Amino acid sequence: MGWEKVGKRWRVFWHVTLSDGSVDKGSKSFKDKKIALSFKKHCEKREQVLKRAEIIEPVLLDEAVNHWVDFCQGYTETTAKLYISLVQRFMAFLPDTVAYITDLTKFHINCYLNSQMSNVVNKTVNNSMCAIKSLCDYIHENYGIDNPADGIKKLKEDPPEVYFINQEEYEAVLGSCSGVVHPWVLFLANTGLRASEICNLRWRNCDLKQKTLTIVGKGRKRRTIGLNDAAMGVLKQMRDGRKVKPADAVFLTPDGELLTRYVLSGRIAKTCRNAGLSGGGPHALRHFFATQLLLRGIPIIKVSILLGHSTITTTQRHYAHILSDDLTGVTDVLVAG
């Protein structure tokens, strides 16, 4: 590596004699000395590989990312879109010297994650890390190189800020519902579905004879939810006067269009404001569903399964205050010594 006084740049030279007698040589200039040194190390590492006669077909990182994007179609649509957008931001952050998959290191990943920490919450950083790890896992498994994301751990996240509504507020929301919003609110409060799950609900997911719903929710996890009389009444109302097919959506907009999360959230949030609440939306009704079950003595493990949480720890984190309140007076059963 040398300094060019005229062009005021650092130039890196390489010269390697290959096993077949041919010569691989060239040079590349850089304005930044650190980038030049990084490229020099890459050249030295490549030289060692060649000297050991371990000729590895070079794979461009951009090319590997394109293949990974196709692999992402195996995720849910929401996860795939999120991961792809997060990896695109990561790729834009990387220096020009990271051209091949073997150039990407844990240092680059940590630099990117550290750059985010001052601007976003830990949960957002963890989302980026999960997307990058997905890419690195794919590269490791398909190209046989060391995984640069190995050993990178998640940050501790602050408890999520959630909006809970009590029984009185729920009744006020029901009383403020207009037209089609009423069955949406009623169904969410009696099934605990996520907004995306009610929008994607199809008649093939509904077994009216067994009074159950089969949901494929977040992370493609399948769960079965029993339907009470209120939820059954909503489904019968949605089917009344319609010739439905198994693939048809259960819930539609007043115009007969497919219900979207945007429409659902907007209409329910407006209804909550009309009822005098300072917040609220589809997820608040999911929390209402869970808290009412816990307050009525349903074991938290069962509530966790109904909600489709990956672990019971997630349920405990959201509803710790409910469990704490329920412990009041429990020790009264003990006999004093």
Angle at 140 between CA 134 and CA 141, to 5 degrees: 90
319 is catalytic: yes
170 is catalytic: no
Q: Strand, coil or helix: what is 244?
A: coil
287 is catalytic: no
Catalytic residue among 46, 194, 267, 318: 194
138 is catalytic: no
As beta bridge partners, residue 50 has none
286 is catalytic: yes
Catalytic residue among 28, 218, 223, 273: 218
Q: Strand, coil or helix: what is 25?
A: strand
Catalytic residue among 133, 286, 287, 318: 286
- Alpha helix stretches (DSSP H) within 275-307: 282-295, 300-307
Neighbours of 229 (CB within 10 A): 9
Cα gap 91→238, rounded to integer Å:
46
309 is catalytic: yes
Cα gap 292→121, rounded to integer Å:
30
Cα gap 290→293, rounded to integer Å:
5
Q: What is the DSSP string of 109-133?
A: HHHHHHHHTTTS-HHHHHHHHHHHH
**In 3D, which of 136, 47, 32 has the Cα closest to residue 86?**
136
CA-based max dimension of the chain: 91
What are the residue numbers of the active site?
194, 218, 283, 286, 309, 319
